[in-house]
Amino acid sequence: MNEVDKIVNMAQTCVDLSREKRPEVTWIQGIYKRFQEKTGITEKNAADSLLYEKMYCSAPARPSDTLKIRYWRNGQHVPIDRYECRKLGLALGMSVEEEEFLIKGYLDKSDTIFGIFGEKSAKYEELWEKRKNLMSGMVLEYIKKIHPDRRIQLRIARNSMESGIRHLYYTDAMKYVNIKQRQMDLSENSHLASINYGSELGRNLHLEGEIPRKTMVRHILIFGMPYINRALVSERLDSLGYLPFDKDHTMTDGGRLDWLLLEFLGLYEETCQGMEPEECSQWFQEACRILDSFFMEKGFSNLRFMYFKALGE
């Protein structure tokens, strides 16, 4: 089997797995059953009503009020944000470890949100600074790998490399996806296309606000290429407050991104061992475009881990 077939088969298996029930839903159903046993409530509607009352400090006014709780335990939806999710965990009587998995595993978010809506404490600020330093280190590593010829081609002055990170990142990201305007943007070297992504990337680099785990995976991959592997990506996710790689972990829509990335990075490590760095980068980009095309054609855009809206279509 050639490499293209391996990648396509890998993508199809990922799609098939993504149609299965989320393991995280099975997990929360076990917590829910424990809640029923502890309260002695066997009827689920009654248990949902009690959970609602514990979460919102008032009894449901109408039967439809508890509908969202039923959806949560059945896996049809997840709470709208981390704050409502924490209320659910508290109402279910979760342990500290379970609450952490509720946010990082079930809700697929980082353990902490920084910025205007974050906490205000010395411990919080210290953690934020530590993680910003890690992100800054990844950016610096990325900048140091930029060849002078490319910097000149993109018209980025040597003394403004950090301010030019937006366009460097954007043009690199284009190489991993298969969209119509990719070749045009790469050939014209226009800064206009990347301008709209500037503010979002800036917030991400300062770790401000809610940053999806899939987005952080993309940052780690782009900043680290070609010197990446499964262990490094997993370690950096963990250090930034996200769930490290777990082949059974799913996104909230059921997408088996972790399974895919572990398989894909494993193939990358195996195939590119002993290659020159430039060859490794080229292989990874071409392979990513195969995956990107496959998921786009199959209607599984949630699995396009290198794509983001500002790239266009």
Q: What is the pLDDT of residues 1-60, one digit of tens each?
A: 689 999 999 999 999 999 999 999 999 999 999 999 999 999 999 999 999 999 999 999
- Please say if the pLDDT value at position 149 is more than 80: no
Residue with tokens 């777990």, as numbered in its chain: 246
Q: What's the confidence (pLDDT) of residue 74? A: 93
Q: Name the CA radius of gyration of the chain, rounded.
A: 22
| Model pLDDT, residue 166 | 87
- CA distances 119 to 127, 128, 203, Å, are 11, 11, 17
Q: What contacts 276, CB < 8 A, 6 or more positions away?
A: none
Residue with tokens 């089997």: 1
Number of neighbours of residue 179 by Cβ within 10 angstroms: 18
Is pLDDT larger for residue 168 or for residue 186? 168
Instruction: Tell me what pLDDT residue 188 has.
Output: 46
Show the tokens assigned to 144: 């140091």
Give the model's pLDDT for residue 159.
59
